[in-house]
Structure 1
C-alpha cells in the first residue's frame, strides 16, 4: 500500500526522523493559510507546493494542458494560492504516470530548506528495501540525490552504494557510520546522519515497510540532515497489525478495477493485453499468462480467485475482466484441489447465465478433482463456453479466439 508524502512524513516523525515540515491542503485558500503558518513558525522566506499523488517525477511533471510543474516554489501567500489553484484538480503527468496522468486532490505546502548559510547545502539519496536474492534488507544510498537518480543509477552505477542488514542483528552502529562516511560527511553533519539512518531503519522495520525512499536526503547549511521527500510503501500483508496505517489508504489513487476486485478477495492486477485470465493459485496464474503469450495473445490481467472459487467470485471476476474493452477472449484455468472442478463449472454456468450476453469467447480448462464431470457440465450447458482438459488444448483455443478477433 502506497502512502502520500505528507502521510509518510508524519509517520517518520514518530520515529524521530527529521523531515521538511509542511501542511497538507485541499483548497487554494488552505494553501494560502498554510504559507502564513509556515512563514510565522519557521521564518521561511519561501514555501514549496507539492502535488500529492502516488507517483514520482513530480518536480519535472506538468499539469495536463499547462506549463505548471507538480512541485513549485512560492515567495508569498498570493504565489502559493495561485500555484495551488493551478495544481489542484488538474491531471499531473510524470514519467511514472504515463500519458494518463493522475488527478491531484491534495497539495503539501512545505517549508523552505534550501537557504544558504556558512556551509553549502547538499542533496543525497537513501532508500531501504528487501533484497530477496540475499534474504536481507538493503540500504541503497548515493551522493547524487535529486530528481535524476534513475539516470545516476543507469549511467554511473559506481555512485550507488549498498549496505546489507542481516534480519537477526538489525542495523549495526558501524554500518550507519559507514553510510555517513561514504556520503562525505563530517563533524555535526556526520553525527546527525548516523542518527537519521538509524531512526529511518527503525521506522522501516516498525512500520512493516516494503520500501522506504528518501530523495532528496538533505544536509542543510546548519548541518542538519532531513528528509525533504519520502516515498513509503507498506507491506499489504502487515496491515492487520496496523489498522491505523490501513486507514490511510487512498483508493482514489488506485486502479478502480483492482479496488473492486479487493472487495471480493480477488487478487487482480491489470495488464495491457487482449486475453483475460481467471485462475486459482498465483503460480498457475503465472503459467497461464505464459500459455497466453505462447498462443499468440497477450495477458490482459492477473486474476487469482483463490482456492474457494464459487459462482459469486466467478461472476465478479467476469465483470471485472469484461470492463476492459481490449479483452478479446477469457481463459479460465482451474486446478481442482481444494475446490472441485464440477463445482467451478457449475459456478461458471451460473455466472454466465446471470450476466448479460457475453460477446467474447470463454475458454475453460479444468484439471484435477472431478475434471471430467466439470467438462461434461460445460459441454452440455448449451452456453458458448469452450472446455479443455490439457493446457495445450486451451492454448489452441486461445490462439483461434485471438486470430478470429
Structure 2
C-alpha cells in the first residue's frame, strides 16, 4: 500500500513549534496573506485570550467604488454567517470576515477594529453577533469607542450598524451611546430584541450606505 497524497492540519496555537514550515499567517487560504492579515495575525499570535480572526475577501481596493463594500465584524461563527448572508441579500458586499468571540479583552478587540477600518474603499461597518452568556460585551463597547474615536472623526456620515447583545448589554449600549455621541457618523444600535432580525438590520445598513454615498 502506497499513499499517493496526504494532508496535515497544524493547530494555530502550535505553529510556533514548527518554524520549518515558515507560516507567515497560519490561515487556510489559497493566496499569500495581505499586509492587513499579517498585522491581524500579530494581534492573535501570542495572545490566547479569545479570538481576533481577520481575513480579507476584497483584497485589492475595489475598482467599482460606491458599490456597497462594508467592513464586517462578527461575534461567533454561526451568527456571523447568518448576518453576512443577510447583508449580501440586501445587495451589499463583504470586504472582510472578522470574529472576536471567546471573551477577548478590550485591548485585543480594539486593535482588530483598527485593522478592519483600515481597509480601502469601505462604505460602512457592521458588527453583528448572537446573545452571549460567556463574555461580557462591554469589552467590545470600550474597544469600539476607542477605535472609532481614532479612525472615524474624519469620515462624516460613515454608516455604522451594531447588534450587541448578551452579558452587560445595557451597560455596553450606554458606553457606546455616550462615547460615540459627538462623532459625525450614522449610528444604528440594536440589542437582544432584534437578535433574529438580521434582514431588518441589513436593510438599515443598505439604507445608510445609500445615504452616505449621496453625500460624498
Which whole-Å CA distance do the structure 2 matches of 1:392 and 1:375 have between them? 21
SS in 2 for 1:337: strand
Is residue 2:199 matched to residue 1:397?
Answer: no
Identify if the C-alpha distance between structure 1 residues 250 and 397 changes in structure 2 by more than 3 Å, giving closer, same or farther.
Answer: same
Is residue 2:110 matched to residue 1:315?
Answer: yes
Which whole-Å CA distance do the structure 1 matches of 2:168 and 2:13 have between them? 37
Which whole-Å CA distance do the structure 2 matches of 1:310 and 1:249 have between them? 26
- 1:191-340 map, 5 Å: 197-198=2-3, 200-201=4-5, 204=6, 209-210=7-8, 235-237=9-11, 240=14, 243-244=17-18, 247-250=21-24, 253-265=32-44, 266-272=52-58, 274-335=69-130, 336-340=132-136
Identify the match of residue 348 of structure 1 among 129, 134, 144: 144
* Larger RCO (CA within 8 A; separation ≥ 6): 2
SS in 2 for 1:367: strand
Which whole-Å CA distance do the structure 2 matches of 1:257 and 1:307 have between them? 22
SS in 2 for 1:339: strand
Tell whether the 8 Å contact from 2:160 to 2:205 is kept in structure 1 after alignment.
Answer: no
Tell whether the 8 Å contact from 2:70 to 2:125 is kept in structure 1 after alignment.
Answer: yes
How far did 1:288 drift?
1.9
Which residue number in structure 2 is paired with residue 18 of structure 1?
none
Identify if the C-alpha distance between structure 1 residues 299 and 256 changes in structure 2 by more than 3 Å, giving closer, same or farther.
Answer: same
Tell whether the 8 Å contact from 2:71 to 2:94 is kept in structure 1 after alignment.
Answer: yes
Deviation string, structure 1 residues 250-303 (Cα, Å, up to 9, x no partner): 569322211111111222121137011111222222122112112321111110
SS in 1 for 2:125: strand
Where does structure 2 lack aligned partners over 5 or more consecutive residues? Answer: 26-30, 45-51, 59-67
How far did 1:369 drift?
2.1
How far did 1:365 drift?
0.8
More strand per residue: 1 or 2? 1
TM-score (norm 2): 0.69
Identify if the C-alpha distance between structure 1 residues 267 and 342 changes in structure 2 by more than 3 Å, giving closer, same or farther.
Answer: closer
Larger radius of gyration: 1
Deviation string, structure 1 residues 58-93 (Cα, Å, up to 9, x no partner): xxxxxxxxxxxxxxxxxxxxxxxxxxxxxxxxxxxx
Which whole-Å CA distance do the structure 2 matches of 1:338 and 1:242 have between them? 28
Where does structure 1 lack aligned partners over 5 or more consecutive residues? Answer: 1-172, 174-196, 211-234
Which whole-Å CA distance do the structure 1 matches of 2:16 and 2:108 have between them? 27
SS in 2 for 1:349: helix
Output the aligned Cα RMSD.
2.8
How far did 1:364 drift?
1.2
- 1:37-56 map, 5 Å: none
